[in-house]
Structure 1
Amino acid sequence: MSENQNLLAEQRRALILDEVRRRGGVRVNELTRRLGVSDMTVRRDLDALARQGAVEKVHGGAVPVAEASTHEPGFEAKSGLELSAKEDIARAAAELVAPGSAIALSGGTTTYALAHRLVDVPDLTVVTNSVRVADVFHAAQRSSGPRQGAATVVLTGGVRTPSDSLVGPVADQAIAALHFDVLFLGVHGISVEAGLSTPNLAEAETNRRLVQSARRVVVVADHTKWGTVGLSSFAALEQVDTLVTDAGLAAQARAEIAEHLRRLVVAGEDADDDADV
């Protein structure tokens, strides 16, 4: 291989690494289209990056090297990842919300995207432990002025986490006294073995209370969350009624999920393709 070809390979791998870190994962077919190279070339690049310890290869692509189970990224760091997937998930999840219902939205960037889709749904009561989610509804009401059917927002108290969620005994006590029709839950990680998990111990307990207070639990999580395990598990997959995810979820993961969940909604795919189990 010539020196110029070596340079091109290094530039290409730098671009791939940047995509992995920025988006939280890449797929081989996406990289072949973007870089204009063959499937085999991309796989060789991923092999080289994996040998360097820069990425972790997964079926169909690569993800960042696994971080410690106690690592909790801040809201801003997470908000730039998988933007299109989160918008697709938010759009699909919003269709599950009936006017006049009482819902809960946990903290997270995907529930934050969902909140923007719900500001015009009439007569909602929204319970949330997310400062960001509450701000979405308050900003919408300030901009439109008083209007009939505007959401009633209940923001729990508590101690603020790096992801701008309110957790701890104050939040737990407030949530335990409430009952809502549907909980829309963002997660740090989801897997068959660990269920739903988070790196924050206090957040895990608050999430347990949210799950206990909900008639139905809907997890909103992009495909990169599958297989990730945080320090503390707070719910088993069997406690989840519906998972709303994006089309990047691998076929093997879909098969595993179908064994444990009642319903899988893949945003961006036809409704007839949703798996009811």
Structure 2
Amino acid sequence: MTDEQNLLAEQRRALILDEVRRRGGVRVNELTRRLRVSDMTVRRDLDALARRGAVAKVHGGAVPVAQTSSYEPGFEAKSGLEPRAKEEIARAAAAMVAPGAAIALAGGTTVYALAQRLAEPSAPGELTVVTNSVRVADVLYHARRTRSGPPSRPGGPTVVLTGGVRTPSDTLVGPVADAAVRSLHFDVLFIGVHGISAVAGLSTPNLAEAETNRHFVRSARRVVVIADHTKWGTVGLSSFARLAEVDTLVTDAGLPAAARAEIEEQLPGGLVVAGEPEPAP
């Protein structure tokens, strides 16, 4: 490799590292378009950065290595993590939604996967969905526009998007969001988490998001947490609910047996493991 080629590679990697730090993660297909190079070149660059300990590779991209309790990765970075588990969890959670229900969908990539399920033509009808996720609102809004229905009533759910300040996860938080959420009442809240543990409960690295999530939990008759197994044992900066305040936890088969026992102790009968057959009665 020539000195010029080495320089170009280092320039690319510096740009990639800057994007990872600024956005909380990058995806390979985005980098190929921005840098105008092949997938193979980008993957070699990510391999080189990972060997230096500058980034951590994930499915389809890379995220920063250092993750403290106050670190909050961006939506794109998180969307590449545990995609199969999220799909299984979303399928199981969608089966819990009754036609005509008023539901709340908080932010996060697992909740977004659920929203994609609820946007399908076979999803329960007449739903009212309140969300503080820009991504969730967008996918459900487009479902309402494209799904067929009677002339007097368009298909798809009715979507209410709270206002607020946008976070790296594309959720809206702060006083405006808090005021909107606490004035409403939901049949079911579906909420994702940054971390969940027996001691810290549900937690997030964002203080404002924690407060908004507290209002979501208080306004719901039933609280359903949807989180893949990697969230167990992770603790963010701020807790917003105790595990005992959760009615149901929907997770995937990767959850260890010891964690299942801890959860079942606090949520008797409230653990749903997506992708596994239900036990015989």
Tell me the secondary structure at the aligned position of residue 218 of structure 1.
strand
Distance 1:223 1:270 in 2: 17
Alignment of 1:33-72 (within 5 A): 67-72=67-72
Percent sequence identity is 72
Task: Work out whether 1:107 is the aligned partner of 2:113.
Answer: no
Return the match for 2:142 from 139, 143, 159.
139
Partner of 1:207: 213
Structure 1: which 5+ runs fail to align? 1-20, 23-51, 56-63
What's the TM-score, normalizing by structure 1? 0.74
| Offset, 1:128 | 0.3
Distance 1:273 1:107 in 2: 34
Partner of 2:183: 177
Deviation string, structure 1 residues 190-211 (Cα, Å, up to 9, x no partner): 0011000000000000000000
Return the match for 2:266 from 260, 270, 276.
260
Partner of 1:243: 249
Distance 1:66 1:243 in 2: 28
Structure 2: which 5+ runs fail to align? 1-24, 27-52, 57-63
Partner of 2:39: none
| Offset, 1:67 | 1.9
Tell me the secondary structure at the aligned position of residue 178 of structure 1.
coil
Distance 1:130 1:122 in 2: 21
Distance 2:280 2:83 in 1: 23
| Offset, 1:272 | 2.2
Partner of 1:166: 172
Task: Provide closer, same or farther for how the CA distance between residues 251 and 273 of structure 1 changes in structure 2, counting only shifts above 3 A.
Answer: farther
| Offset, 1:141 | 2.1
- RMSD of aligned alpha carbons: 2.4
| Offset, 1:65 | 7.2
Task: Provide closer, same or farther for how the CA distance between residues 260 and 66 of structure 1 changes in structure 2, counting only shifts above 3 A.
Answer: farther
Partner of 2:229: 223
Q: Which moved more, 1:239-248 or 1:136-145?
A: 136-145
Aligned pair count?
218
Letter in 2 for 1:115: A
Distance 1:142 1:151 in 2: 10
Deviation string, structure 1 residues 117-137 (Cα, Å, up to 9, x no partner): 112320000010000000111
Letter in 2 for 1:193: V
